[in-house]
Amino acid sequence: MSGTGSDAGPTGADWAAAVDAVRQVPADGRVLLICHVNPDGDALGSMLGFGLGLRRLGVRRLQATFPGPPEVPEPFHGLPGLDLLVPASEAYPDPDLVVCFDAASASRLGDLVDRLATAGTALVLDHHASNTRFGGIHLVDPAAAATSVVVEGLLDRLGVPLDAGIAECLYVALTTDTGSFRFEATTPAVHEMAARLLATGIRPGDISRRIFDHRPFGAVRLFGEVLGRARLEPSAAGGRGLVWTYATLDDLARHGQRPYVLEALIDSVRCTAEADVSCVVKQVAAEEWAVSLRSKGAVDVSRVAVALGGGGHRFAAGFTGRGTADEVVERIRGQLDDAVIGGGDQEDQRRVSVFPR
């Protein structure tokens, strides 16, 4: 069950079904939490925060996992609840309840997608407008700034009080997906949630330094090299402009860096004044690339991502591309004109939103 329409949030019936699904897990039942491949702060923070909440409810047989290598990006090494994590290969094969976090489509679950069929109940928590409503019960709220907003709502309905561990996980999730409260999804409700989390005694300065202001020197050198090959295409996207760059596996190896360091690169690219759309193409295999797209307001990049097999939000989206980096970018160019948001000239469009969602 789900709300009506792709932009509708959860209904009262959806919330009730989700609460029942959790409460009906047997005392010795197995619960498996899954977030998307290459987890970011919202995916990991939401999953671990919810896991800690389930512990408070007395759930004993509980695992958290994600597809791909069982490596947590260094900025998230201090998150509470990391002891819940198991490699995907060790995840319960047929849990009583599976809960998916921050995944817009089943494909984002990788090799763990089969748990949707083998689980007794499948619950999906997400905030992407492009969510395909996979699984059985859906708490999908496109108006939420982060999946952690949905998680807090469910924990509240389950009667789980916030403690410092849960709060730190949800705060990391909230700050990463709002860009430290800079993006347009930052509403009064977002700040009210942040206040509730901070009231548990967590230290926002320490958390922010660990998440946003901690980078190996090798990553700084890597960023310099990759930014040095950035290309500006002012005529792209109907004249709104495109700026893009790419990073290869050889780049990572040469500077001794792990792939996760590239997740922050889009922030350095998207500040380009002459382009509404920014793009970073990151190699993950011989002819496979993880693509990050951002818009300042003139282009709906989720339309581009969905057309190319991915998903996301209006002003922040991504997909997996195949071929060479130039071929991937050419496909993006081919979709941009159709994704321009109607009305206004180029300068007016750029005033719609200074920061992506």
The 10s digit of each residue's pLDDT in 88-112 is 999 999 999 999 999 999 999 999 9
Report the pLDDT value the prediction gives residue 255, as an integer from 0 to 100. 97
The dihedral sign for the CA sequence 306, 93, 288, 267: positive
Region of poorest pLDDT, from 78-82, 239-243, 349-353:
349-353
Averaged confidence pLDDT in the chain = 92
What is the pLDDT confidence band of residue 127, given thresholds at 50, 70 and 90? Answer: very high
Mean pLDDT of 130-137: 93
CA distance 311 to 291: 11
Q: How many other CB atoms sit within 10 Å of the CB of residue 326?
A: 9
Residue 350 · residue 298 · CB < 8 Å: yes
Residue 310 to residue 281: CA distance in whole angstroms: 14
Percentage of the chain modeled with pLDDT above 70 = 94
Contact 218, 255 (CB under 8 A): yes
Residue (of 97, 112, 93, 134) closest to 19 by Cα position: 97
Calpha distance 325→246 (Å, rounded): 7
2/282: higher pLDDT: 282
Q: Is the pLDDT of residue 343 over 90?
A: no
Q: What share of the chain is helix, strand, coil (3-state, %, to 5)?
A: 45, 20, 40
Angle subtended at Cα 2 by Cα 103 and Cα 293, rounded to the nearest 5 degrees? 30
Q: How confident is the model at residue 17 (pLDDT cuts 50, 70, 90)?
A: very high
Nearest C-alpha neighbor of 5 from the set 105, 147, 185, 131: 131
- Could you tell me the two tokens for 225? 């090299």
pLDDT grade for 7, boundaries at 50, 70 and 90: low
Please say whether the beta carbons of 173 and 42 come within 8 A: yes
Backbone angles phi, psi at 293, to 5 degrees: -125, 140
Is the predicted pLDDT of residue 227 greater than 50, yes or no?
A: yes
Asked if residues 266 and 294 have their Cβ atoms less than 8 Å apart, the reply is yes
Count Cβ atoms below 10 Å from residue 183 Cβ, excluding itself.
Answer: 20
How many CB atoms are located within 10 Å of the residue 199 CB?
Answer: 10
183-to-296, 353, 357 alpha-carbon distances in Å: 10, 9, 5
- Using one digit for the tens of pLDDT, what is the confidence trace for 67-86? 988 889 889 999 999 999 99
CA angle 337–313–8, rounded 5-degree value: 115
Burial annotation 133-171 (CB, 10 A radius, 16+ → b, else e): ebbbbbbbbbebbbbbbbbbbbbeebebebeebbbbbbb
> pLDDT class for 47, splitting at 50, 70, 90?
very high
pLDDT band at 169 (very low <50, low <70, confident <90, very high): very high
pLDDT score for 6: 53
- Per-residue pLDDT, averaged over 34-63, amounts to 96
At 356, list the tokens: 């992506």
Residue the block writes with tokens 């020197």:
217
Mean of pLDDT values over 131-145: 95
Q: Which residue has the higher pLDDT, 355 or 79?
A: 79
Report residue 238's pLDDT band, with 50, 70 and 90 as the boundaries: very high
* Whether 37 contacts 103, CB under 8 Å: no
According to the model, what pLDDT value does residue 4 have?
35
Query: How far apart, in whole angstroms, are the C-alpha atoms of residue 204 and residue 308?
Result: 37
Mean pLDDT of 282-295: 95
Is residue 265 within 8 Å of 259, Cβ to Cβ?
no
The answer to whether residue 56 scores a pLDDT higher than 80 is yes
Residue 207 CB neighbours (<10 A): 17
Chain position carrying tokens 């993880």? 290
Name the nearest CA neighbour of 131 among 15, 340, 278, 302: 302
Question: Alpha-carbon distance 188 to 284, whole Å?
Answer: 38
What pLDDT is recorded for position 138?
97
